[in-house]
Amino acid sequence: MIRHIQRHTGEKPFECAFCNYTSARNERMKRHIRTHTSEKPFKCTLCEYSSNNATTMKRHIRRHTGEKPYKCSFCIYSSNRKERMKRHIRAHTSEKPFKCPYCVRRCTRSQKMKRHLLSHTGEKPFQCSYCDYKSNRKDSLKRHIRRHTGEKPYKCSFCNYSSNRSDNVINHVRILHNVDYHHNLQS
C-alpha cells in the first residue's frame, strides 16, 4: 500500500550516495547503485558474461538458447527483445511516435529523432581529429575522415576503380559501365 501511495505523491525516499538519483523503491536503488560500483552479481553459466541486473541477464541467456518469445502479428518475424519487436511492428503500422518539437518531422526511432534534433540546435558533436571539421552526424564524419586517410572502401565490380564514397562508385558504374544496379558495389 505504501508503494502505491508513493506512486501518487511522487515521494522518493531512497537517495543514491554517488549522484542525485532518487527512487521510491529500495530494489531500484540497489540496482542503480551497481552502476556506480560496477558490481555484476548475475553471471552467465554458458559464457563469461555478467550483468548488474536480472532482466539483462535473462535477455542475454536468450542469445544462447535462441529463444525468441516476441512474435510479430503481421509477419513471421520474431525477436528475443521486446524493444526490437516494438520497433519492427512500426514498419507495418507506419507509427512514428517520436515528434520533433521544432517542426512537423516524426520518426519511428528515438535515435533518429535525436539525430534530427541536432539539425535544429546547430550542435555538431562529431569532430575531425585531423582538421576543424565538425558534423552533427557520425557517418558524415567517418566519410570526411577518409579524405585525410585516403581510404577507399567502395570498389567497382567491373574494374579497379574505388572511392571513399558509395555514391561515387554507383555513378561510375552507371556512366562508365552502363549498369544501373546498386548491388555491384563492394565494400
For the chain, report the end-to-end CA distance as a whole number of angstroms: 60
> What is the pLDDT at residue 5?
65
> What is the pLDDT at residue 117?
92
Q: Give the residue numbers spanning the domain of 158.
A: 154-184
pLDDT reading at 33 higher than 80: yes
Do 86 and 59 fall into the same domain?
A: yes
Contact 125, 136 (CB under 8 A): yes
What's the number of domains the chain is made of? Answer: 3
pLDDT reading at 184 higher than 50: no
Do 33 and 47 fall into the same domain?
A: no
State the pTM of this model: 0.50
Do 25 and 66 fall into the same domain?
A: no
> What is the pLDDT at residue 181?
62
pLDDT reading at 144 higher than 80: yes
Q: pLDDT tens-digit profile of 150-171?
A: 999 999 999 999 998 888 999 9
Q: Among candidates 103, 99, 112, which has minimal Cα distance to 139?
A: 112
121 falls within a domain: no
Place of cell 516476441: 70
140 falls within a domain: no
Average pLDDT, the chain: 88
Q: How far is CA 116 from CA 91, 137, 139, in A?
A: 19, 9, 14
73 falls within a domain: yes
Q: pLDDT tens-digit profile of 96-140?
A: 999 999 999 999 889 889 989 988 988 999 999 999 999 988 889
pLDDT reading at 83 higher than 80: yes
84 falls within a domain: yes
